[in-house]
Amino acid sequence: MSNSFEHDAMGGHATPSLNLGKITGMATALVVLNVVLMLVLAYAVGPIAQLLFSNFFIGIAVFVVTVGGGFWVANKGVQSGNYPLAGVGVTMIQAGYGLFGAAILAAFGGQQGLWIPALAITAVITGLITAVVALVVFKTDHSFANWQKYSWGFFIGGFALGAVGFFINPMLMLVAGLLFFLGFVVDLTYEIWAVKANRYESDLRNALGIYVAVMGVFVHVLQLVLRVLSMLDN
């Protein structure tokens, strides 16, 4: 079976040009590198990472600048064929997710023995979520073209609810976290559909989109896994 898809100009369906194996390989490599980086940063600069994300608004700003800005820079590099620029964007994304993940791990600094098991369990759960999303996308004829817009709705809703919760009720910030998580799942659905529909002509662009969405799911699952393991450990 071919691992590539090309767009059918007549019917608008995806048929065997983009290299699925290459896209999957690049996205997986970027995710693995980022997970390793967050573990290294947790040991090296965990308290600093915690400080960056200790305040809701500062944390959002750091995330938007590094991950959001990095994705924008990487896209510009890919579109213009300027791969050093794309590399700068990827480095920004790696740094953003690395620091955020390090902050999450450092929050359980007194239980460092949980870090690696938590990362492993999170990787399995995230992989299963990604597999289910991919199965739904590729096994149905449903168009997910608007789901990127829906993901932005979740992100904006999460920010708004988190902002209110910061000043009024911290419990609202937990709901905001759920909205952010759902936003990344919805975005992941769109990015996988974009590969199927050949929305973007670049394998690298497709890999970057999936990588960013998967990492967004990963860091939110990681928080839950660490909390559960911490309770069991106590």
Nearest to 66 by CA among 192, 212, 181: 212
Q: Which among 123, 125, 131, 128 is positioned nearest to 101, based on CA atoms?
A: 123
Q: According to the per-residue pLDDT averaged within each range, which of 17-21, 178-182, 230-234 is highest?
A: 178-182
HSE-CB for 125 with a 13 A CA cutoff: 19
- Into how many domains does the chain fold? 1
Helix then strand then coil, % of the chain, to nearest 5 = 80, 5, 15
pLDDT of residue 5: 47
Question: For residues 209 and 18, is the Cβ–Cβ distance under 8 A?
Answer: no
Q: H or E stretch including 14?
A: strand 14-15
pTM check: above 0.85: yes
**Cα separation of 150 and 179, whole Å?**
11
Range of the domain at 36: 4-233
How far is 202 from 183, CA to CA, in rounded Å?
Answer: 24
CA distance 214 to 211: 5
Return mean pLDDT, the chain: 92
In a 10 Å sphere around its CB, with 0-12 CB exposed, 13-18 middle and 19+ buried, how is residue 90 labelled?
Answer: buried
Q: What is the pLDDT of residues 171-191, one digit of tens each?
A: 999 999 999 999 999 999 999
